[in-house]
Structure 1
Amino acid sequence: MNNLESSADQVPASQVTYLKRKTKALFDRLERLYAESDADKLSHMDSCDLRVLLDSITKLESNFDAVHTNLEESDFESISSDLPAKFESILLKFKALLQRELGSRPNQQFSSTLNTSFTNANPVLIMSNRSRLPQLELPKFSGIYTEWENFFSMFKTIIDADSELSPIEKLQHLRSCLSGAALDTIGSLEINRANYSVALDILQRRFDNKRFILQAHIRAIFGLEKADSSVGRLRQLADKVTSHIRAMDSLASREEVADCIIVQTVLQKLDKCTQAKWEERSSANELPSWAKLSTFLQERCRMLENVDQVLQDGQVGKSGKIKTLMILEFSLQGIS
């Protein structure tokens, strides 16, 4: 038994129970506040009360993260809990709701023209011609599959769902958030009303791919650096793995995830030609399974064995070997 397991076993059951109840209580508090904060109630609150409420849920978020981190360190089974994902989902909607209400107040400062400025870190949204969000940072997306869901969820909640923004404004905000491969995907589109929906459709078809996203999370876990004995590096490793696991849990069942891990591991052991043939056979939006990969490998082995048998036949002359090699090349190109 390693040191981590020994330390986990030594945690009193009472402490684990307390931490579980604490995280559930914090979640229930956020859920209750959100349920009570309908549009009509918020419209009757002054700006000061809205800011206090926004500050309150921000502190609630910080407390929840701290308590749940302690819980995961004390009880390894809590790493797979879906409570943090639910908490984050409600939190994002709540913050967006409060920001919109604050931005609608007449005493908010606003610019006279649409101005989307951004730095190397995050784009900053400055609203135009009407009192709106004073400043709101949107996450950038460069084309990394593991970042797609968080980016698109935030963008849809804050920008796409805003009925007061025109399609042209939404498209400009979308472009300001993108970089690298993601920006190249829609870079040729002109800025006009019709192309906003076109840009979203292109990005979704390109990056909203459950299979690619799941495989990207698996590769990311495999690529994590080995942690040394320091607490900081160990915590960093645990947090990253937990983050990837939560993301995968939202995409597929544990059985499907396990199957994908097996497929990903086996594929790394195959030659590039066989990998390419597997990709040609695989559906882009269907999760791979070991059963399908196993069937593919069996079929490919039979084909290659048949070709080898012909090549080893002593009656095949020079011209026959050349012909057989041509058949082999054709077979390798055509197998599916």
Structure 2
Amino acid sequence: MSGDLKDLKSQQRQIRSTFDGVKQFIQKFKREKYESQIETRLEMLEAAMKKLYSVRRKMDILLEEGDEKDSADSKEAPESLQARLTMLAEKRDAESVAIIQTAEDNYCELKSALQLLVAKPVGETLIQQPPALAPAVQGASSKVKLPEIKLPTFGGRIREWVTFRDMFQSLIHRNDQLTDIEKFTYLRSSLVGEALQEIGTIEISAANYRIAWDLLQKRFENKKLIVKAHLDALFAEEPIKRESYDALSHPISEYDRNLQMLNKIGEDTSNWGTILVYMICCRLDSATLRHWESHHSSKEVPTYDELIEFLRNQCSVLQSIAPTKHQLDIRRSNQCNLMVVVHFVEMVCTQHLNVNGS
């Protein structure tokens, strides 16, 4: 019997090793490398859980048989022997139940995480529409494909934290129809670089989701640094060297985006107009600045909105007169043809000079 029990304990250790292997697979998952293994890992997990039930039943039977054999050889008083055997049986039952419950908890978490990897391309952070965002009533046999929602990706840039935080909370964190293990899986799939390293050592489990989210908030929820990052972006705008649609549209978008974020986190920028107009005008190319001064001939101090409206109109003008791809292709073709002609003329002239010289 001791040999059989030893073998069953060895099988139980192998099952635990299988569970650990699946957990490591999820933590290190990279879709481009391991996507084909997901179904196999699911099958391994199912087989390991079924085997554990069988192994625990056999172990319980062997241990009970061992107790009966010991009691037959024992010289204890019947009352004392019965009390001892009852206590052993209760202790063994409690241990067996604890082992099974722990295994079932791990099994459910791991299976849920694997199924998420099957259903959603986590590496690309694309998910199906979360249940809370789906229509309230939807037939079970509906075959309508819901639109995909792209989760935000956050790599640790403090200027991007507020946007990531608000969108993730709206789609995932406050979604009561998602379990914490699903939320944790979505969270890890949305992080890269420094942000992922911040929670990289935390094991994927339902209990650890709140810990991971609180850790990210503690690390990146810093209003002083967020404000500084947006101001740095405003002051870092490069001067425009030449009038063009691309060169002019970029600062307009950057100023609008950063000012909106500053207002969103509680910074009132409504009285910043004079300094903003000065900052933008200092970065305009000479042609655009000349157009602006001609446009705003008043002696009053221009507002930020007036300047931005003028620049948007300039962008529209520049976009409308910009050459099309077809025109650019024709221009390049003409230039090539001209170069060929010039080269041919040079070659003829050189030959003519050589002939005359000889």
Do the two structures share a fold, i.e. TM-score over 0.5?
A: no
Greater CA radius of gyration, 1 or 2? 2
Q: Which has the higher helix share?
A: 2
Give the TM-score, by structure 2 length. Answer: 0.37
